[in-house]
Amino acid sequence: MTPKKITLAFDIYGTLIDTNGVEAALQALTKREATAVSRLWREKQLEYSFRRGLMNDYKNFEVCTRQALDYACLFFNIDLSENDKQTLLEGYRFLPAFPEVKKALASLKKSGFRMYAFSNGRSPDMVGDVLKNAAIDSYFIDIISADEIKNFKPNPAVYQHFLNRTETTSCRCWLISSNTFDIIGAMSFGMKAAWIQRSTKSVFDPWEMAPTAVFNSLLGLSDTQLI
Ligand code: LAC
């Protein structure tokens, strides 16, 4: 097997892009320590996407993000104007990439892997913008968004959609993600999956499977590991 025959599906938020990047803007607008607010916002964003999926009541990831922000404000009793909320949501398009991402993507691309961005976020606007603003869009052949089939990872239909769009098979495809729900979703669908454990405090869900590989940053990914 050569890298040219292997497809890599990169999750975006939390894997390539640091969602905690909203913290500074949150802090400036709310005038309070924002780590807990940022964390709850992210947790609710994911929960809302999962619940929308289960309920067959699709609303795109931007809607989930907006409603999760509203929830976090209510929970912490933060009074933000509509303008402030728009500023924060706009900031979601300017989140930074994790420090090693560019170097790792450049090296994998040089090796010849087929590289795609694969996200629950809407494409091209939401995901396209964040990749462009973080200057990492050029490493990908295309963006595959769950929005194209109005569903969310970890629904198996979304992983199947990825294979259809990229014309590959699950045994030649790796999901790369820091999100454990995504790793488990991809593996139970039949893909290989590399978990990027971005913090030693991140715990892998104790379900009936383990990731195919675990790395503490994208720099762990290499030809020998993936082929
Ligand atoms: C993504 C989020 C869910 O799909 O991490 O990019």
Give 18's DSSP letter.
-
Q: How far is CA 169 from CA 160, 162, 173, 203, in A?
A: 9, 10, 7, 29
Q: Mean pLDDT for the chain?
A: 96
Q: What is the tens place of the pLDDT at every residue in 104-134?
A: 999 999 999 999 999 999 998 899 999 999 9
Catalytic amino acids? 11
| CA 148 remoteness from chain centre | 16
- Six-digit token string for 170: 């699950």
> What's the pLDDT at 143?
98
In sequence order, the β-bridge partners of residue 13 are 17
| b/e sequence 127-156, b meaning 16+ C-beta within 10 Å | bbbbbeebebbebbeebbbbbeeebbbbbe
At residue 24, the 3 state secondary structure works out as helix
Burial 30-55, CB ≥16 within 10 A → b, else e: beeebeebbebbbebbbebbbebbee
| d(CA 120, ligand 1 centre) in Å | 5
What 8-state DSSP symbol labels residue 222? -
The predicted-structure confidence for 156-179, as pLDDT tens digits, reads as follows 999 999 999 999 999 999 999 999
Nearest CA to ligand 1 atom 1: 119
Q: What's the whole-model pTM score?
A: 0.96
Q: Which residues does ligand 1 sit against, CB inside 6 Å?
A: 11-14, 119-121, 153, 179
What pLDDT digit, counting tens, does each position of 74-103 carry?
A: 999 999 999 999 999 999 999 999 999 999
Coil, strand or helix at 34 = coil
Predicted local distance difference test score (pLDDT) of residue 31: 87
DSSP designation for 97: B
Model confidence band, residue 32 (pLDDT cutoffs 50, 70, 90) = confident
Q: How many angstroms is it from 8 CA to the middle of ligand 1?
A: 15
- Residue 224 pLDDT class (50, 70, 90 cuts): confident
Q: What span, in angstroms and rounded, lies between the C-alpha atoms of 130 and 197?
A: 22
| Residue from 5, 18, 13, 221 nearest 118 by CA | 13
- Measure 46 CA to ligand 1 centroid, in angstroms: 8
The protein residue with its alpha carbon nearest to ligand 1, atom 3, reads 120
Residue nearest to atom 2 of ligand 1 (CA): 13
- Check the CA dihedral 106-179-159-123 and report its sign: negative
Nearest to 46 by CA among 54, 212, 163: 54
